[in-house]
A and B are shown apart, each in its own frame.
Chain A
Amino acid sequence: MKFLLFFSRRLLHSIFVLLGLSILVFFIARVMPGDPARMALGPRAPETVVEKFREELHLDKPVYVQYYYWLRGAIRGDFGRSLFTKRRVSDDIREFFPATLELMVFTGIIMSVAGIFLGVASARYANKWPDNVVRVISYLGVCTPAFVFAILFLLVFGYILNLLPTIGRLSPWIDRPAQITGFITIDSLIAGNFTAFWDGLKHLIMPGIALSLGPMAQEARITRSSMTENLQRDFIALERSQAIPERVIMSKYLMRISIIPTVSVLGLDFASQLGWAFLVELIFNWPGLSRYGINVMLHKDLNAIVAVIMVIGLLFLIVNIVVDIVVAGLDPRIRLGAERSK
Chain B
Amino acid sequence: MAKVLLDIRDLHVRFNVYGGSLKVLNGVNLLMYEGEKVGLVGETGCGKTTTAKSILKILPVPPAKITKGHILFKDRDILKMGEREIRNLHAQEISMIFQDPTAALNPVFTIGDQLMEAIKYSSVHDGLSKREIYRRAIQSLQDVALPDPARILECYPVQLSGGMRQRICIAMALATRSQLLIADEPTTSLDVTIQDQVLRLLGVLVQEKETSTILITHSLGIVREWTQRVYVMYAGNMVETAHTDDLFERPLHPYTQGLLKAVPKLTGEGIAKGIEGRIPDYLNPPKGCRFHPRCPKVMAMCSKERPDFFVRGNNHLVSCFLYKE
Measured CB to CB, the residues of A under 8 A from B are 126-127, 231-235, 237-245, 253, 256-257, 260, 330-333, 336-337, 339-342
B108 touches A331 (CB 8 A): yes
B residues 38-62 in Cβ contact with A at 8 Å: 53, 56, 58, 60, 62
| Contacting residues, chain B, for A245 (C-beta < 8 A) | 87, 121
| Contacting residues, chain B, for A239 (C-beta < 8 A) | 106, 114, 117-118
Q: What separation, in Å, do the CA atoms of A242 and B114 have in the docked complex?
A: 10
Select B109's contact among A233, A240, A243, A256, beta carbons within 8 Å.
A256
Q: Mark B142-166, 1 if CB is under 8 A from A, else 0.
A: 0000000000000010111100000
A241 touches B108 (CB 8 A): no
Select A231's contact among B60, B108, B114, B159, beta carbons within 8 Å.
B60
Q: Mark B79-105, 1 if CB is under 8 A from A, else 0.
A: 000000001101100111011100111
Select A241's contact among B96, B117, B158, beta carbons within 8 Å.
B96
Q: What separation, in Å, do the CA atoms of A231 and B156 have in the docked complex?
A: 20
| Secondary structure type dominating chain A contacts | helix
Interface presence of B239 (CB below 8 A): no
| Contacting residues, chain B, for A256 (C-beta < 8 A) | 108-109
- Beta-carbon nearest neighbor of A235 in chain B: B106
A243 touches B87 (CB 8 A): yes
| Contacting residues, chain B, for A341 (C-beta < 8 A) | 159-161
| Contacting residues, chain B, for A337 (C-beta < 8 A) | 158
B95 touches A333 (CB 8 A): no
| Among B87, B95, B161, B176: residue with most chain A CB under 10 A | B87
B156 touches A241 (CB 8 A): no
Shortest Cβ distance from residue A258 to the other chain B in the assembled complex, whole angstroms:
10
B60 touches A242 (CB 8 A): no
Select A243's contact among B62, B88, B96, beta carbons within 8 Å.
B88
B88 touches A238 (CB 8 A): no
Q: What separation, in Å, do the CA atoms of A237 and B58 have in the docked complex?
A: 6
Interface presence of B172 (CB below 8 A): yes
- Beta-carbon nearest neighbor of B94 in chain A: A241
| Among A232, A238, A336: residue with most chain B CB under 10 A | A238
Q: What separation, in Å, do the CA atoms of A183 and B176 have in the docked complex?
A: 55
Closest 10 CB pairs of A and B: A243-B91, A332-B156, A234-B103, A242-B118, A237-B58, A235-B106, A243-B87, A234-B104, A333-B158, A243-B90
- Beta-carbon nearest neighbor of A258 in chain B: B108
Select A233's contact among B91, B103, B176, beta carbons within 8 Å.
B103
B121 touches A243 (CB 8 A): yes
B118 touches A244 (CB 8 A): yes
| Contacting residues, chain A, for B122 (C-beta < 8 A) | 242-243
Shortest Cβ distance from residue B21 to the other chain A in the assembled complex, whole angstroms:
16
- Beta-carbon nearest neighbor of B97 in chain A: A238
Q: Mark B101-143, 1 if CB is under 8 A from A, else 0.
A: 0011111110000100110011010000000000000000000
Contacts A242-B118, A257-B107, A341-B160 known; A127 to B62 CB distance under 8 Å? Answer: yes
Measured CB to CB, the residues of B under 8 A from A are 53, 56, 58, 60, 62, 87-88, 90-91, 94-96, 98-100, 103-109, 114, 117-118, 121-122, 124, 156, 158-161, 169, 172, 176
Contacts A235-B103, A332-B158, A336-B158 known; A242 to B117 CB distance under 8 Å? Answer: yes
- Beta-carbon nearest neighbor of A244 in chain B: B121
Shortest Cβ distance from residue A330 to the other chain B in the assembled complex, whole angstroms:
7
- Beta-carbon nearest neighbor of B176 in chain A: A242
A240 touches B58 (CB 8 A): yes
| Contacting residues, chain B, for A127 (C-beta < 8 A) | 62
Of the A-B pairs whose beta carbons lie under 8 Å apart in the complex, a sample of 7, sorted by A's number, is A233-B103, A234-B100, A242-B91, A242-B118, A243-B90, A260-B108, A341-B161
Contacts A231-B60, A232-B60, A333-B107 known; A242 to B158 CB distance under 8 Å? Answer: no
B87 touches A238 (CB 8 A): no
Further 5 A-B residue pairs, CB within 8 A, beyond A257-B106, A330-B108: A127-B62, A235-B107, A256-B109, A331-B107, A332-B159
Q: What separation, in Å, do the CA atoms of A235 and B156 have in the docked complex?
A: 14
| Among A231, A237, A242, A331: residue with most chain B CB under 10 A | A242
Contacts A234-B98, A336-B158, A339-B159 known; A241 to B104 CB distance under 8 Å? Answer: no
A242 touches B108 (CB 8 A): no
Shortest Cβ distance from residue B141 to the other chain A in the assembled complex, whole angstroms:
16
| Contacting residues, chain A, for B158 (C-beta < 8 A) | 332-333, 336-337, 340
- Beta-carbon nearest neighbor of A339 in chain B: B159
Shortest Cβ distance from residue A164 to the other chain B in the assembled complex, whole angstroms:
41
A244 touches B60 (CB 8 A): no
Q: What separation, in Å, do the CA atoms of A127 and B96 have in the docked complex?
A: 29
Contacts A336-B159, A340-B159 known; A241 to B95 CB distance under 8 Å? Answer: yes
- Beta-carbon nearest neighbor of A231 in chain B: B60
